[in-house]
Structure 1
């Protein structure tokens, strides 16, 4: 049930809507377009402004945090560089046999010998300053025999050494014994004894020294890393916003920081600890000392410590003001575009239609070169694109009809070439298996290597033309396979002039001729056959001959079959499919003057001649591109 007030307001709303409709109908067309476009643009403009504000702020925070991670990773890499340079520095003392002998001795017969040992140690320390002049670390060797040595102990000052027995009782020492072959890095706060040597050290690199002969532990090596060095790493990551840094160990305790009041404190909130420990790197908002900050962190891969950068979230007010100015500017621009587009649509909407109609009249008269001018990306622009696409399709169809015959011929030749490979592959694999079964691993290995090279050349090669030298390399692999398959059936020899080897030839041009000699020339021959491949220059051409002393054949009929495609009997030395394929491809590439010719060899045998040009410039992309890729 509606209340009396609601029943009274309903007719008033209907009357107001009717008045607005009437006023809108009375507007002129350009006023209607202006009013409609303004309403339609204001709402998207507001939505776009809000989205822009949100996404730009979000993207800005992500980019800022990613840049902070880059800084942290660089600091971490610098810290890793310090750890890496400590390794050879420590090995200089640990792997030195003289030092090892001195610190392994429990006692000396006389004080003189003990002084000589100390002098020798000091000499090594002095030499280390020269060899590792770029490293400024103090190193101490705390012997289990009670003898201690330091890089700073040159007899001029008194050095306070830690008590090695007390060190053995500290909490970190058992872990060092478990992994005695590696350097372990510990924060200074974890060892009260090591801090006696230097209050400036923040990290200690410690390692147990063992006797090189017996393997017993004889001393503890300690290398001091000063706080100033770590602060220098932090200083390199500073920027105008002055972010702060600290290093937290696996227990959650901060032992180094650009803010001194944080040193020695533990991260108290479990939420922050969880975020820092569950991932190796990342960023999240947090409150540090009561101030809202953005925290970024990475994990050092050597120690597992967390390198943390935090920066107060300040300066956002100015950023918001800039964003508001940007959004207002975009809104004003949208309003201006609305007005301009309204006038444009009302006055010039018919212009693209008239231009398109004129272009269609020209095309109708037979001039297919005409193209519509695309001035916009609206429906009229799409019509123009479709019109241009239609004319392009008509021209392409005409071109395709002209190229169809040549393309079909090429596809047929490619199909013939593809038919050769499967049968050959199956037989070759069977022959390799036979060699293995016959306990001929050398032959099987030779065949397998030749097969791999041949298949790589056949299936990985994208060039249509290759050098004669490359083709002969493939043929040689093929002959190796056939010799191992038909052992004792034939012998072969290849002799080609050096200059002829660099000429271009369609790939898989010689192999079918060799295959023909093996499969048909020697099929009924009882004696060992011979195949000879020669290559020589004849004027402006190169003649490659494949000669065998097989069962022979009628060279006239074979030549007729090659030229005209007529079949011959299988008992003769010839298989027309592969050889005619070679002949057709040679003529297709080089012209009618080139191809195959056949002649008889007395008393038995046949010679197939391949004629190719000495100097041939391939079409663009046939050879030169692949040649550059190989180089």
Structure 2
């Protein structure tokens, strides 16, 4: 089944559509969240405005109560309670005291004697009998009462037809049990307006509602029809908030005055700010969508052309295309892709040249190997003839030399194997040491100690010979005889894995600490460029390099005492990279 491939242009368009969808969903979430937050904020404002009107009313009530408390305890007023008939002087003093206590209220104040006489500095003829007022005062004898009433029920002048707020309170004698006098205070409209004007949010309308659920004062910033007003009156209750079909009603109750303070906001006003914000959001959203569409088409067009060119060059790639470079100029990462493609072409050319060189080298090596297959047989036969002549002539030294050389050559060639048995490796190094003993007129002796059962272990070929050669060439350079090379092979186990340990020690001149440090550092870093100056460690570092390439786990370390000995320890596992 062929896999469907989407072009980059389609993918960019899909991305643009996904971006538009994401923006739309984000806009929807923001809109819902904004509406919720705005609604919550307006509800908090409505609750606060009602509470603020209650607080303002509480201040007015406290002022009236404080003034009437002063009137009650005034000594002259107490005398007037007991005096049924006041002369002109006493009346003037009484009115002066009343004015002193109620001046801050800027209200009309009436002092009503229990005998029916009325004293006032404001003028006006009021009814001394009022059933509603009598009911209030009889309900709570000593309490200050605030109430709403039509002026025609308060004043004898029936032409006055307006509703106002009044305060009434009994003036009792402190010392004598007699019928109390009364003080009536007409609350000026501006005081009521101050209660309503504590709020300045013009989205709301504000009302003062009496215990009979009638609206007695209001401050409206928006027209409200009669039907809605009736619903607002019915919604007034002890509940703080009531939702009407037209809007929200927020109510706070003032216990001392027995009045309700109401804030009302219509749905139209509540969501007016939301509509304005949503309008801007829709404009922004529309602009974002248009931008996403235009950007998607433009970007897809601009980017798809070079991508299509890259795709075509890749599909048509062949050996004949190695000289055909791409030149892309988009000021994007595609330019780097074009440069990388051109770099790849150059590298492929270089690799092809290297492969051709390697193939030629392999053919040359194959020819050379075929020739070497002939040479060993001729060499072995020649050595065998020399050995027989030496035996006939009883030349034992020559016989030993030829025998050692024959063994050394057989193991060195070993049919091209890189890994041989430990037994063959030790035989090879023994043959080499025998030849060197003969050449150097018994300059040294050697000793090989191998732990039992290790002969069949596999090791890299010919790694010991350069080491013992280094012992002879450098370790014994300052002696004529008495040299000793000791080779020790053993095995140990670490975490269940067996490892072979080779220790080669000579009793030559040794090396100082500085040379040992340099040599170990070069072995560790496989540094062929800077061998030990005095000891010429090329061969040792080559051994280290070969062991690192062939063994998965291997370490080499030199130690020495100047004038006494030099020791190298090689530790290797049995896992090799290439066992052929």
**TM-score normalized by the length of structure 2:** 0.44
- For normalisation by structure 1, the TM-score amounts to 0.41
Larger radius of gyration: 2
